[in-house]
Amino acid sequence: MTGSKISELRLDHVSRGFGEVLALDGLDLTIEGGEFVALLGPSGCGKSTALNCLAGLLPLTNGSITLDGRRIDTLPPEQRGFGMVFQNYALFPHMSVRANIGFGLKMAKVAKADARRRVEEAVALVQLGDHAAKFPGQLSGGQQQRVAIARAIVMEPALVLMDEPLSNLDAKLRLEMRTEIKRIHQTLGLTTVYVTHDQEEALSLADRLVLLREGKVQQVGPPETVYTEPANRFVAGFMGYRNELELPVSPGSGTTAGDKTVVLGELTGTRREDLGETAVAAIRPEDFTVGDGPNAMEVDVEVVEFQGREQAVQARTAGGDELHLRVQARLAPGDRVTVSVPPERVLVFAADSPAAPEEVA
C-alpha cells in the first residue's frame, strides 16, 4: 500500500468569510508531495476553515486551490481523492473494524480480492490485527482512532487531512498515536495536512508549520526555525516564550528593569525607533538560571512543581510581574532568589503588538 503521489498542492490567496468574519484571509501555501504540514493556532484562528476548504466541505470566498496544476477547489469532496481523519472519528457502530476500514473501497466498487488485501494491509499497518473482527464499541479510544486512520489511508489518498485527531485521547495515548501517525506518514510516503492547537504536537510531527492568527498567516517554516526564530510576539508566545515583561525602553541600548539597566535581547519584527516608551521582553522558562548573571532580577518563589530533573517554578518580581521558570536548582515557596537570563535568550517586541492568548503562552 502506498499513498498516491502528488508533486504539489497549491493554495493561492484562499479566503473564506462568514458574514462579517473573515475566518481565513488570503492563505498562500504550497505543499510538496510527501510533506507533513501542520496548521497551528489558537481556537478561532481559522485552522478548521482552512482544512474544510481543502477538503471541499466549504466553498472558498476567494482564491484557488490547485493539485499538480489542476484546479480542484470547484470539485466536490469525493472527487478530490483526499482522506480525512477527524476528532470525532464517527465509525459505523454496527460494522466490524474490517468492514469499517473496507467501507470506502466497497463504495468505490474496488474488486473484492483487491479490497480484502488492502484492508488487511491497512489493519496490519495500524496494528489492529488482534481486533479486526471486533466492533467499535469494544475498542479503546486509541484503537478507534487507528481504525479511523486505516479507513482514510486504505483509499490511498493523494492527501490526508487530519483535524485535531488526537484531542479526544488521554495524554499517554496521545503520545503513542503521535508516533504512530508519523510512522504511517513516513512508511506510506503520504502528504499530510494536520490541524492542531498543540504546539508540541505540531513541532514533533510536522516538516513545516503554518501559524495562523485571526485567519492570517503569521509564519511558515520548519519547526526548528519557527521555534528558534519566531517572527513576532504572537508566534513567540506559541513557541514557549511564556514570560513577558513590559519594560521601559531606555535611551541607550536595551530596556530598564527597576533600577538596573539590562541589555535585552533581539528585536524581532520591529525597528527600535518604533518601540515607543515601553517594550515587551519575552523569555522562555528554561532560559532562566538561578544565581547572579546578566539581566539579574530578584524574585519571590510562590509555587514549585516537581518535574523530575527540573522544577517548574512560579515566582514574582519586585515589580509584581509573574514569572515562570524551569530550573534545576531546588527551590521552595517563600525563597527569595536572584535569577538571570542571557541577553541573547531574550526577544523584544513592541508593547502594542498582538500577543498569544494566555492559555497557550
Ligand X SMILES: Nc1ncnc2c1ncn2[C@@H]1O[C@H](COP(=O)(O)OP(=O)(O)OP(=O)(O)O)[C@@H](O)[C@H]1O
Looking at the DSSP assignment, which residues form a beta bridge with residue 194? 38, 162
Residue 47 in the binding site for ligand X (CB under 6 A)? yes
**Shortest Å distance, C-beta 90 to ligand X:** 17
| Among 3, 25, 48, 206, contact with ligand X (rule: CB under 6 A) | 48
CB 255 within 8 A of CB 224: no
**Shortest Å distance, C-beta 26 to ligand X:** 14
Residue 45 in the binding site for ligand X (CB under 6 A)? yes
* CA nearest to 177, candidates 215, 43, 168, 290: 168
**Shortest Å distance, C-beta 86 to ligand X:** 11
Query: What's the CA gap between 332 and 43, in Å, rounded?
Result: 35
Residue 167 in the binding site for ligand X (CB under 6 A)? no
- 47 versus 326: smaller Cβ distance to ligand X: 47
Residue 46 in the binding site for ligand X (CB under 6 A)? yes
**Shortest Å distance, C-beta 137 to ligand X:** 27
Query: What's the CA gap between 230 and 237, in Å, rounded?
Result: 9
CB 165 within 8 A of CB 148: yes
* CA nearest to 204, candidates 188, 180, 220, 187: 180
- 43 versus 88: smaller Cβ distance to ligand X: 43
Of the candidate spans 46-54, 70-78, 285-293, 318-326, the one that interacts with ligand X by CB under 6 A turns out to be 46-54
**Shortest Å distance, C-beta 53 to ligand X:** 9
Of the candidate spans 38-46, 60-68, 143-151, 202-210, the one that interacts with ligand X by CB under 6 A turns out to be 38-46
Of the candidate spans 45-53, 100-108, 238-246, 299-307, the one that interacts with ligand X by CB under 6 A turns out to be 45-53
Query: What's the CA gap between 105 and 49, in Å, rounded?
Result: 28
Question: What residues between 4 and 23 interact with ligand X by CB under 6 A?
Answer: 18, 21, 23
Consecutive H or E run containing 39? strand 36-40
User: If you write DSSP's letter for every residue of 204-261 in order, what string do you get?
Assistant: HH-SEEEEEETTEEEEEE-HHHHHHS-SSHHHHHHTT--EEEEEEBPSSSSEEETTEE
Of the candidate spans 47-55, 126-134, 252-260, 340-348, the one that interacts with ligand X by CB under 6 A turns out to be 47-55
Residue 197 in the binding site for ligand X (CB under 6 A)? yes
Query: What's the CA gap between 200 and 217, in Å, rounded?
Result: 19
Half-sphere exposure of 220 (CA within 13 A, CB side): 10
**Shortest Å distance, C-beta 215 to ligand X:** 7
**Shortest Å distance, C-beta 121 to ligand X:** 32
| Among 41, 83, 102, 157, contact with ligand X (rule: CB under 6 A) | 41
Sign of CA dihedral 197, 200, 204, 206: positive
Residue 145 in the binding site for ligand X (CB under 6 A)? no
- 13 versus 112: smaller Cβ distance to ligand X: 13
Residue 43 in the binding site for ligand X (CB under 6 A)? yes
Q: How many residues bind ligand X (CB under 6 A)?
A: 12
**Shortest Å distance, C-beta 187 to ligand X:** 28
- 169 versus 275: smaller Cβ distance to ligand X: 169
Of the candidate spans 43-51, 151-159, 239-247, 319-327, the one that interacts with ligand X by CB under 6 A turns out to be 43-51
CA torsion 346-351-352-354 (nearest 10°) is: 30
* CA nearest to 254, candidates 267, 237, 268: 267
End-to-end alpha carbon distance in the chain: 41
**Shortest Å distance, C-beta 252 to ligand X:** 42
What residues make contact with ligand X under the rule CB under 6 A? 18, 21, 23, 41, 43-49, 197
